Structure 1
């Protein structure tokens, strides 16, 4: 009996310590993500003639924000970002964005490596990066696999040249609304 009580106390102690460690990891993760947003708080601006072209090319009209979900060149990544794009979009990206309030947003997915993106390109939500404009001007780090850019109607934008989450996008929209 005593043995089982000691065993139970040991297991309970271990589980509690593990749970506390997990909470600390989550808090640290949120802090890191918040810090990366702070680095991106400097609003930069797209020249008006280029902004007009972006609006026309990607059918951005009345929405306050354009969210550009970018995938770089396949050879630049150490993993295959173009592997089974349609399934990956339907299983991961689409459900994640469905939880966000995108009422005033135009959300598009741009692909630099058109050869591998053909199965998903529809010119409604999924587009090629025409002339590699975004690759050349904004996502030009040679190791860029993915990134996100949020642009407001004035042409001000914030950029995350890395893996990102819906939290990142929400914070960018908030910062561009100020």
Structure 2
């Protein structure tokens, strides 16, 4: 009898703590206009000159979109796990991550520092190798982490963060760039 009770208790605990429970996701996109603005941390803010901007446009197929979002995987040696996997799990993660963000008129890509490790999985549409280690050298070498994000406006303004970032952070980066928040910031200085 005691064994049956213990087994039932353990079974109840396992089922109630299961990570496979269905969790209802909010379908509403993050609206930075209606939420109280929180302080968003950027590692780097600046302006990309026309030569570098043209290199990025050419090599990452950025055409008419107002904003380019680069989800960057830093070199494997900078990370304590393999951050260069491209499989159904990682694709699903990024799809769900960006579902709540207003990415209208944005090109959203993933660039890998060591893309040659997974060259066969790179499609040069959504997944790219860091051409000539350009992004690593210009932007991501300044601070090591597993991941980073670089959000660039077509006018050359950019925001960069190295490390783990949230949907709210990315939504705010896009909003700030689309609404010339950086230009206003620089004028105040």
Q: Does the residue aligned with 1:149 lie in a helix, a strand or coil?
A: strand
1:41 is displaced (CA, Å) by: 8.6
- 2:141 — aligned with what? 140
1:146 is displaced (CA, Å) by: 0.5
- 2:51 — aligned with what? 49
Q: Deviations over 1:81-110 (max 9, x none)?
A: 12x422232231112213322221000110
Would the aligned equivalents of 1:149 and 1:158 in 2 still touch at CA under 8 Å? yes
Which residue of the other structure, out of 58, 61, 80, is the alignment partner of 1:59?
61
Number of equivalences:
142
Write the distance in 2 (CA, Å) between the matches of 1:141 and 1:63: 27
Write the distance in 2 (CA, Å) between the matches of 1:44 and 1:159: 9
Would the aligned equivalents of 1:66 and 1:107 in 2 still touch at CA under 8 Å? yes
Q: Deviations over 1:42-93 (max 9, x none)?
A: 74001111101111111111111000100011111112212x4222322311
- 2:72 — aligned with what? 70
Write the distance in 2 (CA, Å) between the matches of 1:131 and 1:138: 13
Q: Which structure shows the higher helix fraction?
A: 1
Give unmatched runs, 5+ long, in structure 2: 1-37, 181-189
1:144 is displaced (CA, Å) by: 2.2
1:170 is displaced (CA, Å) by: 0.6
CA RMSD of aligned residues (A): 1.8
1:142 is displaced (CA, Å) by: 5.8
Q: After superposition, where does 1:84-123 map in structure 2 within 5 Å?
A: 84-123=85-124
Give unmatched runs, 5+ long, in structure 1: 1-33
Structure 2 length-normalised TM: 0.69
Q: Does the residue aligned with 1:118 lie in a helix, a strand or coil?
A: helix
Write the distance in 2 (CA, Å) between the matches of 1:161 and 1:173: 16
1:120 is displaced (CA, Å) by: 2.8
Write the distance in 2 (CA, Å) between the matches of 1:142 and 1:153: 24
Would the aligned equivalents of 1:85 and 1:119 in 2 still touch at CA under 8 Å? no
